[in-house]
Structure 1
Amino acid sequence: MAAHTFEFTAPLWLYGGKATWHFLTLPFDVTDEIDELTSEATRGFGSVRVQVTIGATTWTTSIFPDAKRESFILPVKAAVRKAESLAVDSDCRVRLQLVDFGN
């Protein structure tokens, strides 16, 4: 596995606000390691740039810290959900690589 690359499985969930945003919550061990690696290099709102693969779909986005969940959350856009036939509560196998962190 490449440096600063993480693999995990997490369920897809729907944000409870007005918008129909879908997210995955990163496991605590992955969050802890990303925190250590990026503590002095985060962007706006504490975001971290990542390249993500779910199934056959790869895209670049950002993960964001979520104080309520004490973890990072990963937004999953509609095009990815459609391409991979994902619905709320789907278990997603994720490959996540940090972007711009010496990969």
Structure 2
Amino acid sequence: MRYRFESELRRWEARLRDDWYFVDLPPEASAEIHEWADALPRAGFGAVKVVARVGGTSWSTSIFPSASGVYSLVVGARVRRAEGVEPGEVITAEVELV
């Protein structure tokens, strides 16, 4: 299963001392992933393993369910620098479940 979406890059406000930045998957994609999640390899916190891509940068990671029911993808500093993206920008991302 592969999902391509646009989302605003945002800082995780729960831990202001840390620099964690996320994009949220659309509700429809999140609902579909949730239906399939029990059959997929899972990491801690209900995470689902994926290969992610922003621009020309891809990496192995996990998406995490949020309290609102959508999955969130962490976009690390290496990816943000390589793609020249800043918090507040709407970026195109892709995740493929593994």
Does 1:84 pair with 2:77?
no
Structure with the bigger percentage of helix: 2
Deviations 1:69-98 (A, max 9, x none): 321111010000000011011111111100
SS of 2:9's equivalent in the other structure is strand
1:14 is matched with which residue: 11, 15, 19? 11
Deviations 1:30-63 (A, max 9, x none): 1011011113443321000000111000101001
Matches within 5 A, 1:1-103: 4-16=1-13, 17=15, 18-41=17-40, 42-67=42-67, 69-99=68-98
Identity %: 34
Alignment-mate amino acid for residue 77 of structure 1 = G
For the aligned residue pairs, the C-alpha RMSD in angstroms reads 1.1
Q: TM-score, normalised by structure 1?
A: 0.86
| Aligned residue-pair number | 95
Q: Which runs of 5+ in 2 are unaligned?
A: none
Q: Give the Cα separation in 1 of the matches to 2:10 and 2:3.
A: 20
